[in-house]
Amino acid sequence: MPHLAVADLTATYPGTDKPVLRDVSLQVEKGEIVSLIGPSGSGKSTLLRVLVGLLPPNSGSVRIDGEAVDYTSRRSLKNARDRLAIVFQQYNLFQNMTAMGNVTIAPIRIKGWRRPEVEADAARLLAKVGLADKHASYPDQLSGGQQQRVAIARALALKPEILLLDEVTSALDPELVGEVLDTIRVLAADGMTMLIVSHEMGFVREVSSRVVMMDQGSIVETGPPAQVFDAPETLRAREFVSRILRH
Ligand SMILES: Nc1ncnc2c1ncn2[C@@H]1O[C@H](COP(=O)(O)OP(=O)(O)OP(=O)(O)O)[C@@H](O)[C@H]1O
Ligand SMILES: [Mg+2]
């Protein structure tokens, strides 16, 4: 049974009539890293938003370990949000809290977990993302790449089973991209299941178990990175790959 199974998912933004996701189906196995690529506006972010309940689907299904998520049920949605965590391009840390404070607030305040355990876990996570010496730093004392790594540690502090990353390096200066990609590599080596949206094609190729290419709300190609990048089967995939490889 796949860890995450999306079947025939269709979604439309409120106040519009054209679906931005059309019959999207994909599966992610435990420990897999699946990357979503495709042109701007193809629906990559929307798919992640639907998965975490930020946009209700019109039809189709999302299953986690075989259990269907009912996006109209608060209880089901809460359960899904316990299991999936999302990190966005804009990391939105609390400016008045240290790195440690940002990582520990939700586990303590929302989950009600005990502070000593939460802080020990946060220290482990901050070390994992390369910020062992930055517990007491406030966001404005950290670089963009460091802030994004705090945001990743913050997401992991809630112990998700699947991490969704939406262009987490896009807002960063080029010299800071590498350190965030290194953090994702560490999580990959740990066996974290991830669904990644990224424009860093070299990284996608290196780290992904599978690559899923979207265009105009649909999946147009899916396969191992070598197939999708070197020998795409569909015309739309070939066009996209030749366009990105020219840059
Ligand atoms: N809040 C919204 N309301 C209405 N339409 C939206 C909204 N957000 C996105 N869209 C539309 O949905 C489509 C898919 O957008 P989405 O953000 O998922 O694309 P994307 O693949 O993530 O693109 P990018 O690579 O630029 O981030 C686009 O046509 C976009 O204009
Ligand atoms: Mg996007």
Long-range contacts of 122-125 (CB under 8 A, 24+ apart): 122/153, 122/157, 125/153, 125/156, 125/157
pLDDT at 247: 63
- The percent of residues in the chain predicted with pLDDT above 70, rounded, is 100
Nearest-angstrom CA–CA distance, 117 and 133 = 19
Is the shortest distance between the CB of 20 and ligand 1 below 6 Å?
yes
Beta-carbon count within 10 A of 190 CB: 10
- Average pLDDT across the chain, whole number: 96
Q: What is the number of alpha carbons within 13 Å of residue 19 lying toward its C-beta?
A: 18
Whether the Cβ atoms of residue 165 and residue 195 lie closer than 8 Å to each other: yes
CA angle 75, 81, 85 (to 5 degrees): 175
Q: Superfamily for 4-91+163-246?
A: P-loop containing nucleotide triphosphate hydrolases (3.40.50.300)
Atom of ligand 1 nearest to the CA of 42: 21
Which tens digit of pLDDT belongs to each residue from 45-72? 999 999 999 999 999 999 999 999 999 9
Nearest-angstrom CA–CA distance, 191 and 193 = 6
Which tens digit of pLDDT belongs to each residue from 103-150? 999 999 999 999 999 999 999 999 999 999 999 999 999 999 999 999
Burial tier of 243 (Cβ tally within 10 Å: 0-12, 13-18, 19+): exposed
Q: State the average pLDDT over residues 66-85.
A: 96
Residue 47 CA to ligand 1 center (angstroms) comes to: 10
**Contact residues for 117 (Cβ-Cβ < 8 A; gap 6+):** none
Enclosing H/E stretch for 143: none
Query: Among 202, 189, 190, which residue's Cα sits nearest to residue 244?
Result: 202
SS (H, E, C) 106-126: HHHHHCCCCHHHHHHHHHHHH
SS3 of residue 244 by DSSP: helix
Whether the Cβ atoms of residue 132 and residue 179 lie closer than 8 Å to each other: no
The model's confidence at residue 34, banded by pLDDT at 50, 70 and 90, is very high
Q: State the average pLDDT over residues 13-26.
A: 96
pLDDT at 6: 98
Residue 234 CA to ligand 1 center (angstroms) comes to: 23
Whether the Cβ atoms of residue 77 and residue 69 lie closer than 8 Å to each other: yes
Q: Strand ranges (DSSP E) for the chain?
A: 4-11, 21-28, 33-37, 59-64, 67-68, 84-87, 162-166, 193-197, 210-215, 218-223
Which of the 8 DSSP states describes residue 4? E
Is the shortest distance between the CB of 45 and ligand 1 below 6 Å?
yes
Which tens digit of pLDDT belongs to each residue from 148-182? 999 999 999 999 999 999 999 999 999 999 999 99
User: Atom 6 in ligand 1: which residue has the minimum CA distance?
Assistant: 13
pLDDT at 244: 84
